[in-house]
Structure 1
Amino acid sequence: MTEAVVSHPHFVSLEGGEGAGKTSALAAIRDLLHARGHEVVVTREPGGTPLAERIRELLLAPSDGEKLAPETELLLMFASRAQHVREVIRPALRRGAFVVSDRFTDSSYAYQAAGRGLDEALVAELERRVVGIQPGLTLLLDLDVREGRARTAGRDLWPDRIESEQDDFFERVREGFRRRAAAEPQRFRVIDASQPPAEVAAAVTKALAQWLDAKPQ
């Protein structure tokens, strides 16, 4: 069993609420790392492996009448994450690649702890014992909830189970992310995602370049 969560210098995560523009930001991160000569593995959560993608389907499918309990949601998230870490993330890091993940454990602190009201200590215990690793850099795309929902309204004709939550849920999620960033300023870089996509991508690229340049060679 893992007793400590270790930060890895080749592991970058991207976090944020609905409509924050993670797709273009991920492309900007990948392009910069490639330009610097690194192998890059871009992945996502929940998901990232065939089995983890099947768990993703369970997590995001609209309810068929039986409501998913918050504890069930959390444990499914960590089941997917455990598989993801074992099969994708750790092997890539061992061979020296950079891993860029669209969401990681910070999302469980935001969505399941802050959003669903579960105990953060439970998330932390699962993080220690099941995951054991955290990104060296986390880029948080911060956006007003109403603006984010407006951006996704025309895009998501069939919103998934989590996207269908009410604004108050997403306000709690946003606050959860912001608390995480305030508590770990050495790891987080907060990006104003209310800007046009090109400016958000430029801000992400700048933050990543500064972090890379500051790392020991």
Structure 2
Amino acid sequence: MSTDGTDRGWFITLEGGDGAGKTTQAERLEQWLGAHGHRVVRTREPGGTDLGQRIREIVLHDRGHVTPRAEALLYAADRAHHVETVVRPAVARGDVVLQDRYIDSSVAYQGVARGLGADHIRSVSDWAADGMTPDLTVLLDLDVSIGRARVASARGDVFDRLESEAATFHETVRQAFLDMASAEPQRFLVVDAAEPADVVQERIRAAVAALVGA
């Protein structure tokens, strides 16, 4: 049961720049929640559905040119389908949804870094998601140079379309995330992702335990 007394689950998103450790932390959190009796749905945007996986290939791995507005709308299309078919049903069942990236990523990357306008992108994204808002957003904050080094070390300098953007682009994204967290402190937990992974996980678990009662 959620903290508002309703028989529904929780929607938790993980945000942050490339190499911040979202996948690692989500895996550990999933195991911990499962050990405490919670059903967990791990997913991501884009790519959490078959349709989303095809969209992911276009926006991240297709080397053809995708204009910024088209990119933003492809993410919105993925989000609309993903929320309706995966996220909302899971929350309605009482599950805990752990999701890698959501609306805040679109605002940071397309709205701010691409210059399309944060308000415009949030409006389109909110419409696509039909108002689905996370109960908690974990922002893994990390220096851009450290994050890029981690990605390069893990994948041998193989970057996707967004990862291949200049460092200044990623600095803009990082600041956009921090600005959103500052504007919504009740929703965001900001964690220093340069700390050891165990320390990061402890901080996340404390916030999640307060939310779900684990």
Q: Same fold (TM over 0.5)?
A: yes
Given that 1:9 and 1:135 are in contact with CA atoms closer than 8 Å, whether structure 2 keeps it comes out as no
Task: Report what 2:18 is aligned to.
Answer: 18
Unaligned runs of 5+ in 1: 1-7
Using the size of structure 2 for normalisation, the TM-score is 0.90
State whether structure 2 residue 98 is matched by structure 1 residue 100: yes
Shift of 1:68: 1.3
Q: Equivalent residues in 2 for 1:1-217 (5 A)?
A: 10-64=10-64, 67-131=65-129, 132-157=131-156, 158-213=158-213
Shift of 1:38: 1.4
SS of 2:154's equivalent in the other structure is: coil
CA distance in 1, matches of 2:24, 2:125: 28
Using the size of structure 1 for normalisation, the TM-score is 0.89
Given that 1:24 and 1:201 are in contact with CA atoms closer than 8 Å, whether structure 2 keeps it comes out as no
Q: Percent identity?
A: 47
Shift of 1:11: 0.4
Give the root-mean-square deviation of aligned CA atoms: 1.6
Shift of 1:115: 1.3
Amino acid at match of 1:83: H
Task: Report what 2:3 is aligned to.
Answer: none
Unaligned runs of 5+ in 2: 1-7
CA distance in 2, matches of 1:42, 1:205: 16
Task: Report what 2:4 is aligned to.
Answer: none
Shift of 1:197: 1.9
